[in-house]
């Protein structure tokens, strides 16, 4: 049975209510946790991207307030989960003050709890490919549209983020966001993607 004493308090509302780029960087090393079928699934966040405001032409909020983007206009610390390519779910964390649409896309985690469940959900994939992409991580942790707008600051939602061990700046790479090649400059190249550098001694 899961030992409740191992559970840390989720990151607070104030962690998310600030500049989205800072949140994306700060999320590296934090622990994404999913409570699924009486089992704790978790992973250390190792890659994330910032999407910030209506002026950011790579952000879904470029279209303004719609049924799809409404969660991004709401309070920070919530999940923005959307469906794309007809088959994939993506997990984002809403940031900034309520009313300002922005979020951080969680792109990759290193699975550290619930490996047997994840191995089954990611059948056929080796461990290093369990959650090394935004859609793969959602499949691994059973994240779908039912978690859209879930409150990540409480375990009651079944999905939350706990404090972890932050990475040093020397272990982090930044660069342009991926998969947005049709987006105009400067948004296409702005370095709002952050990831752990596997070649700088980080234990991933």
Partner DNA sequence: AGCACGATTAACT
Partner DNA sequence: GTTAATCGTGCTC
> What distance in Å separates the CA atoms of residue 122 and residue 106, rounded to the nearest whole number?
18
Segment near DNA (CB under 7 A), from 9-17, 153-161, 173-181, 192-200? 173-181
Select the residue interacting with DNA from 79, 103, 111, 117 (CB under 7 A): 103
The SS3 assignment for 74 reads coil
Site for DNA in 143-172 (CB under 7 A): none
Select the residue interacting with DNA from 79, 105, 111, 172 (CB under 7 A): 105
> In the complex with DNA, which residue's Cβ is closer, 5 or 85?
85
Beta carbons within 8 Å of 123's beta carbon, 6+ residues apart: none
Site for DNA in 57-76 (CB under 7 A): 58-60, 63, 66-69
Question: Given the DSSP bridges, would you call strands 193-196 and 39-52 parallel, antiparallel or unpaired?
Answer: antiparallel
Number of residues that bind DNA (CB under 7 A): 36
* Closest-CA residue to 49 (of 21, 84, 91): 21
> What distance in Å separates the CA atoms of residue 172 and residue 147, rounded to the nearest whole number?
29
* Closest-CA residue to 50 (of 12, 99, 96): 96
| Residue 195 is a binding residue for DNA (CB under 7 A) | no
Select the residue interacting with DNA from 74, 75, 133, 176 (CB under 7 A): 133
| Residue 31 is a binding residue for DNA (CB under 7 A) | no
Start-to-end Cα distance in the chain: 27
Interface contacts to DNA, rule CB under 7 A: 49, 51, 58-60, 63, 66-69, 80, 82-88, 90, 92, 103, 105, 122, 124-125, 129, 133-137, 177-180, 182
């Amino acid at each position: 049975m899961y030992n409740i004493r191992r559970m840390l308090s989720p990151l607070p509302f104030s962690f998310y209510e600030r500049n989205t780029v800072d949140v994306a960087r700060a999320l590296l090393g934090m622990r994404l946790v999913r409570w699924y079928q009486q089992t704790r699934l978790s992973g250390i966040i190792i890659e994330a991207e910032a999407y910030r405001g209506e002026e950011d032409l790579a952000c879904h909020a470029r279209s303004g307030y719609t049924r799809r983007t409404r969660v991004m206009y709401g309070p920070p610390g919530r999940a923005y989960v959307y469906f794309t390519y007809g088959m994939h779910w993506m997990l984002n964390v809403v940031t900034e003050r309520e009313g300002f649409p922005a979020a951080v896309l969680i792109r990759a985690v290193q699975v550290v709890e619930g490996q047997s469940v994840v191995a089954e959900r990611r059948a056929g994939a080796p461990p290093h490919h369990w959650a090394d992409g935004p859609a793969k991580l959602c499949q691994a942790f059973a994240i779908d549209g039912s978690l859209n707008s879930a409150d990540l600051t409480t375990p009651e939602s079944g999905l939350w983020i706990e404090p972890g061990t932050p990475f040093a700046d020397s272990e982090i790479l930044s660069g342009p966001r991926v998969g947005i090649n049709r987006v105009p400059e400067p948004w296409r190249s702005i370095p709002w993607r952050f990831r752990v550098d596997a070649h700088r001694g980080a234990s991933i």
